[in-house]
């Protein structure tokens, strides 16, 4: 009797809480509707209905996490492009410069490139409609459309006195997830995966099989996930499956609705479980990238090299809302094989100003890989061999901001029909001197942090009465820190020349060429080659002789 009464009392309390919550939801929605109706009826100016309501929705969702978002019908095409890598258009990136929108990066073999649309071309009009003064999003909307439909694009090109008119047929543009693959160093396979579309696993599979077929003596494989923001979870599981046996648990998801909790296991026979494997990551590797890198690390199947990853351990799904919109909702957190959650930010606890911070290392927990190696949760994936990215100079950042690398590359391409073999191409001293003259001739200026710091120091010294005896020292330091663009361009030549060379290579070999050029001086890739060329170091890193079962320490 007592147990029955206790259970009944518990049910009453639960029912009361549910009723209270339902009342609060109904009350607040009624208040919101009433306020909007009052504004619409009595506010002195007309209310832009869609904009005001959208701002209200966005403000509500901002209280949760950045991945829970509302996508109205007008934005669903862009969302589908992110998921599938496909859209109808001309196949080119575009960028904003002042009131104009420019062609930035035509894709090789796509309508823009086939019709000789070049980086730097100004889009003057589309189908007779003036595009000057339009935003990138507005121009992009005009360029996109159903495949096999035509449009007329009017371009302005430097050196051409008259506008250039192009009639272009749109195509289905497929943005490949595998941007490039090949052999690097001494028989090391390399695959760069830029995103996790719904075709990512298929593309990785095709690249891996092709590498194995044409390079039977391949010593190892580098899977490059740097800058990969994630995407389709199922494709991440399939990619892990290429390297581990059937039936292995890759991750599990846990959320509010228990019926939606899932465990993802490998379901196919693998391609290769023995090939030595390195995964490259950086702070831009997120979500599905972290599933692949973290799972392979937990299983002691791959050595991870690079920067600590972004730390996104949240799973989203889409739910339909009225008028063909969707809301992307975070429904669960995911856990990789050791049991760790790699989510680095606790969005449920915000600071007074609304900001959120990374979970402190002191609050993370130790977990163990299959072979007993120590790994931690709560901070993304920490590489087995951490390597920090070198910071860009202030000078290079301002040159990029002002599009001076971009502009010079366009002029270089206009006067050089080809650059020969991409693997041997490099700028000459004369080329770099020409670039310096180009920049100096643009009256280019930039903020120098050392000059700012010196001005602040001088103010503090004057306030505290220390400048009288330090006039000569301050004068000497000011002379050393004076603005001298030519000198600074010589000081930072290796960095500036590398950026400029990459920009020029893109004019001839497009996105694939950009990646190949960047791999020439890639310290993370060099480290990967070192490890894959040293079987003893590879085995010791992964403790392959040990078979300690995975467990957690909390």
- On whether both 101 and 40 belong to a single domain, the answer is no
Long-range Cβ contacts of 534-537 (<8 Å, 24+ apart): 535/276
126/523 Cα distance (integer angstroms): 44
- On whether both 92 and 217 belong to a single domain, the answer is no
Using DSSP, state whether 126 is helix, strand or coil: strand
Would you say 304 and 225 are in contact if contact means Cβ atoms under 8 Å apart? no
Range of the domain at 141: 86-174
**Which are the catalytic amino acids?**
287, 298, 312
- 327: which strand partners? 70, 319
Give me the pLDDT at residue 302, please. 98
- On whether both 113 and 57 belong to a single domain, the answer is no
Give me the pLDDT at residue 402, please. 94
Judging by DSSP bridges, how do beta strands 69-71 and 86-89 pair with one another?
unpaired
Q: How far is CA 431 from the centre of its chain?
A: 32
Give me the pLDDT at residue 478, please. 59
Q: How far is CA 140 from the centre of its chain?
A: 20
Token pair in block for residue 501? 């060379």
- On whether both 378 and 403 belong to a single domain, the answer is no
- On whether both 193 and 312 belong to a single domain, the answer is yes
Would you say 122 and 100 are in contact if contact means Cβ atoms under 8 Å apart? yes
* Number of domains within the chain: 5
- Is 318 within the bounds of a domain? yes
Angle at alpha carbon of residue 523, lines to 522 and 529, rounded to 5°: 95
56/50 Cα distance (integer angstroms): 10
- Is 164 within the bounds of a domain? yes
- On whether both 126 and 166 belong to a single domain, the answer is yes
CA nearest to 120, candidates 160, 83, 157? 157
- On whether both 165 and 223 belong to a single domain, the answer is no
- For residue 186, the 8-state DSSP code is T
- Is 413 within the bounds of a domain? yes
- pTM here is 0.85
Adjacency order of strands within the sheet including 188-193: 178-184, 188-193, 220-224, 277-281, 303-306, 385-386
309/287 Cα distance (integer angstroms): 9
- Is 434 within the bounds of a domain? yes
Task: Tell me the CB-side half-sphere exposure of residue 309, using CA atoms within 13 A.
Answer: 36
Residue ranges of the chain with pLDDT lower than 50? 6, 546-554
- For residue 345, the 8-state DSSP code is B
Token pair in block for residue 70? 């509302």
- Is 77 within the bounds of a domain? no
- On whether both 464 and 375 belong to a single domain, the answer is no
Token pair in block for residue 207? 């690249």
- On whether both 211 and 298 belong to a single domain, the answer is yes
Give me the pLDDT at residue 464, please. 67
- On whether both 295 and 407 belong to a single domain, the answer is no
- The CATH number of the domain holding residue 137 is 2.30.42.10
Would you say 498 and 521 are in contact if contact means Cβ atoms under 8 Å apart? yes
Q: Which string of b and e fits 440-459 if b means at least 16 CB within 10 Å?
A: eeeeeebebeeeeebeeebe
- Is 441 within the bounds of a domain? yes
- The CATH number of the domain holding residue 367 is 3.90.226.10
- 166: which strand partners? 153
Last residue of a domain, one of 157, 174, 191: 174
- On whether both 234 and 259 belong to a single domain, the answer is yes
- Is 250 within the bounds of a domain? yes
- Is 533 within the bounds of a domain? no
Give the dihedral of Cα atoms 357, 362, 367, 368; nearest 10 deg: 120
- On whether both 330 and 432 belong to a single domain, the answer is no
**Per-residue model confidence as pLDDT tens digits over 368-402:** 999 999 999 988 999 999 998 888 888 999 999 99
């Amino acid at each position: 009797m007592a147990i029955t009464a206790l259970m009944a009392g518990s049910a009453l309390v639960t029912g009361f809480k549910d009723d209270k919550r339902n009342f609060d939801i109904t009350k607040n929605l009624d208040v919101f509707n009433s306020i909007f109706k009052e504004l619409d009826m009595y506010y002195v100016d007309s209310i832009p209905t869609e904009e005001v309501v959208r701002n209200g929705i966005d403000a509500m969702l901002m209280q949760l996490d950045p991945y829970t978002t509302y996508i109205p019908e007008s934005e669903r095409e862009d969302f589908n492009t992110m998921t599938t890598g496909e859209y109808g258009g001309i196949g080119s990136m575009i960028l904003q410069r002042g009131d104009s929108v420019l062609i930035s990066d035509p894709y090789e073999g796509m309508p823009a490139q086939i019709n000789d649309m070049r980086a730097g071309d100004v889009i003057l009009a589309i189908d007779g409609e003036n595009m000057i003064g339009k935003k990138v999003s507005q121009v992009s909307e005009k360029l996109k459309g159903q495949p096999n439909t035509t449009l007329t694009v009017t371009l302005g090109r430097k050196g051409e006195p008259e506008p250039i008119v192009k009639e272009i047929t749109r195509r289905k543009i497929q943005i490949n997830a595998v941007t490039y693959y090949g052999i690097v160093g001494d028989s090391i396979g390399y695959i760069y995966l830029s995103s996790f579309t719904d075709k990512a696993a298929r593309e990785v599979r095709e690249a891996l099989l092709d590498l194995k077929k044409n390079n039977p003596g391949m010593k190892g494989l580098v899977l490059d996930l740097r800058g990969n923001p994630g995407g389709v979870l199922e494709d991440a599981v399939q990619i892990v499956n290429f390297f581990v046996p059937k039936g292995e648990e890759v991750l599990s998801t846990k959320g509010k609705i228990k019926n939606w909790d899932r465990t993802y296991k490998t379901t196919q026979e693998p391609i290769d479980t023995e090939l030595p494997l390195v995964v490259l990551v950086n702070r831009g590797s997120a979500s599905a990238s972290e599933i692949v890198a973290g799972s392979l690390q937990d299983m002691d199947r791959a050595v991870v090299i690079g920067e600590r990853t972004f730390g996104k351990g949240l799973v989203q799904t889409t739910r339909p809302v009225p008028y063909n919109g969707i809301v992307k909702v975070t429904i669960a957190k995911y856990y990789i094989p050791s049991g760790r959650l790699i989510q680095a930010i606790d969005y449920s606890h915000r600071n007074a100003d609304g900001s959120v911070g990374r979970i402190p290392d002191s609050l993370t927990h130790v977990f163990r890989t299959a072979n007993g190696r120590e790994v931690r949760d709560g901070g993304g994936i920490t590489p087995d061999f951490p390597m920090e990215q070198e910071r860009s100079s202030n000078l290079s950042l301002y040159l990029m901001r002002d599009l001076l690398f971009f502009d010079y590359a366009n002029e270089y391409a206009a006067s050089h029909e080809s650059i020969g073999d991409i693997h041997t191409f490099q700028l000459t001293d004369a080329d770099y001197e020409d670039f310096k003259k180009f920049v100096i001739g643009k009256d280019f200026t930039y903020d120098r942090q050392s000059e700012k710091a010196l001005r602040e120091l001088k103010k503090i010294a004057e306030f505290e009465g220390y400048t009288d005896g330090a006039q000569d020292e301050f004068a000497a330091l000011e002379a050393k820190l004076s603005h001298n663009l030519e000198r600074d361009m010589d000081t930072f030549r290796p960095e500036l020349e590398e950026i400029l060379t990459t920009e020029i290579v893109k004019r001839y070999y497009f996105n694939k060429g950009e990646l190949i050029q960047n791999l020439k001086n890639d310290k993370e890739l060099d480290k990967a080659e070192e490890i894959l060329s040293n079987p003893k170091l590879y085995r010791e890193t992964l403790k392959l002789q040990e078979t300690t079962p995975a467990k957690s320490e909390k």
